[in-house]
Amino acid sequence: MEKRKRTTIADIAKLAGVSKTTASMVLNGRASTFRIKEETRLRVLEVARENHYSPNVHAKSLQASRSDAIGLVIPDLTNFGFASIARELERLCRESGLQLLIACSEDDPAVEKKAVEGLVRRQVDALIVASSETGDEYYQSLTKQLPVIQLDRHIGQSVLPLVLTDAARATADLIESIAKEGLSEFYYFGGQLELSPSRHRLAGFELGLKRAGIETKPEWIRHRDYQTASGYLMMQSLHQDLGRLPQALFTASYTLLEGVLRYLKDHECLNALVDKEMRLATFDNHDLLDCLPLNIDSIAQNNQQLAKTCFELTLSLINEKSPAISSVVLDADIFWRSKK
């Protein structure tokens, strides 16, 4: 594995019998601007091709103090929603000649900080964060060095640019509609209330019940974190508390739903869903829900739109065109699987 020294612009210049300047101009497609002779231009291009010349981004970044890279921090790459967003952002970056640097926080503020520091040291031109922090002091101070964009999650009351989904509205609509079918109870399993999406989802849930004329009982609302295991545990304790399955349950995330399903499967209760004796709905969508006989309604964020909006906002911040709007809230969609 002998590492061949890469060919540099100096090599090309020498081989083509021109100066570095001329070679640089030609290779950056600005030959006409500098009225380089066509013959010279072709010669340089030819030499470059023959020698597989590829510019060194570090040299370029060093001198331009730009990296043409964007940092993305998300909790977990295997979470389908974040994976979708990451995929879309990666595609947009790739097609614009940028590189997306993805780092995971594992939903741990300490890990998140480490991850961000790594990205900042790599001089990313901007930072997109789905944060697990509750305060934005750190990001606020970072913003002096580079643009920071909040994605999917609002960090405390931060006024940094923000792109997220209006979870409350779709949740309220979904809950109201189900509740009006004539329920006398509706349980809610959620994650950490410190995270902004948790609050919005819960607010939507309570609003939906209210609109359906139902008063929320405190014992209906249960919280842990977004781990699948938490969904399992909450379902277990609910089942024990009641001595039966609940009439209806809303899980605030796909991971929690999975925990609930696992419990039901382990205890051979899935039939209650098939027969619609128990109503189950969830935030977050998953393609597989379409393929199941379980009648689980869901709320889907528009991840593609989220990514696109976020990307465009990021680009405009990088170019210091202070954009018309710096915060965008998108609608979520409801996927009905219990009806019709």
Partner DNA sequence: ATGAAAGCGCTAACAA
Partner DNA sequence: TTGTTAGCGCTTTCAT
Give the interface with its own copies as residue ranges (CB under 8 A).
1-4, 6, 54-59, 61-62, 67, 69, 76-78, 80, 83-84, 86-87, 90-91, 94, 97, 99-104, 106, 114-115, 117-123, 143-147, 228, 258, 261-262, 264-265, 270-271, 274, 286-288, 290-293, 317, 320, 322
- The reply on whether position 319 binds DNA by CB under 7 A is no
- The reply on whether position 211 binds DNA by CB under 7 A is no
Report what 338 binds from its own copies, DNA, none; CB cut-off 5-8 Å by kind: none
Partners of residue 223 on adjacent β-strands: 190
Report what 324 binds from DNA, its own copies, none; CB cut-off 5-8 Å by kind: none
Which residue stretches of the chain are H helix? 9-16, 20-27, 38-50, 57-64, 80-95, 109-121, 137-142, 167-179, 196-211, 228-242, 254-266, 271-274, 303-318
Report what 329 binds from DNA, its own copies, none; CB cut-off 5-8 Å by kind: none
3-state secondary structure (DSSP) of residue 100: strand
Give me Rg for the CA atoms of the chain. Answer: 26
Residue position matching structure tokens 């976020």? 310
Question: Residue 273 class from Cβ within 10 Å (0-12 exposed, 13-18 middle, 19+ buried)?
Answer: buried
Name the residue nearer to its own copies (CB basis): 97 or 218.
97
How would DSSP label each residue in 295-322?
A: --EEEE--HHHHHHHHHHHHHHHHTT--
Question: Would you state the structure tokens that stand for residue 252, as one six-digit string?
Answer: 């605030």
Q: Which stretch binds DNA (CB under 7 A): 24-32, 72-80, 195-203, 240-248?
A: 24-32
- The reply on whether position 29 binds DNA by CB under 7 A is no
100-138 per-residue burial string, b: 16 or more CB within 10 A, e: under 16: bbbbbbebeeebbeebbeebeeebbbbbbbbbbbeebeb
- The reply on whether position 145 binds DNA by CB under 7 A is no
Question: Would you state the structure tokens that stand for residue 329, as one six-digit string?
Answer: 């809230």
- The reply on whether position 25 binds DNA by CB under 7 A is yes
Name the residue nearer to DNA (CB basis): 118 or 323.
118
Question: Would you state the structure tokens that stand for residue 40, as one six-digit string?
Answer: 């010279």
Report what 335 binds from its own copies, DNA, none; CB cut-off 5-8 Å by kind: none
- The reply on whether position 60 binds DNA by CB under 7 A is yes
| Residue of the chain from 29, 46, 50, 56 that contacts DNA (CB under 7 A) | 56
Distance CA 162, CA 313 (A): 9
Report what 122 binds from its own copies, DNA, none; CB cut-off 5-8 Å by kind: its own copies
How many residues bind DNA, per CB under 7 A?
28
Q: How far is the CB of 189 from its own copies (least distance, A)?
A: 15
Question: Would you state the structure tokens that stand for residue 41, as one six-digit string?
Answer: 């231009």
- The reply on whether position 77 binds DNA by CB under 7 A is no
- The reply on whether position 51 binds DNA by CB under 7 A is no
> Distance between alpha carbon 153 and the CA centroid of its chain, in Å?
9
* Contacts to DNA by CB under 7 A: 5-6, 8-10, 17-22, 24-25, 27-28, 34-37, 40, 55-56, 59-60, 62-65
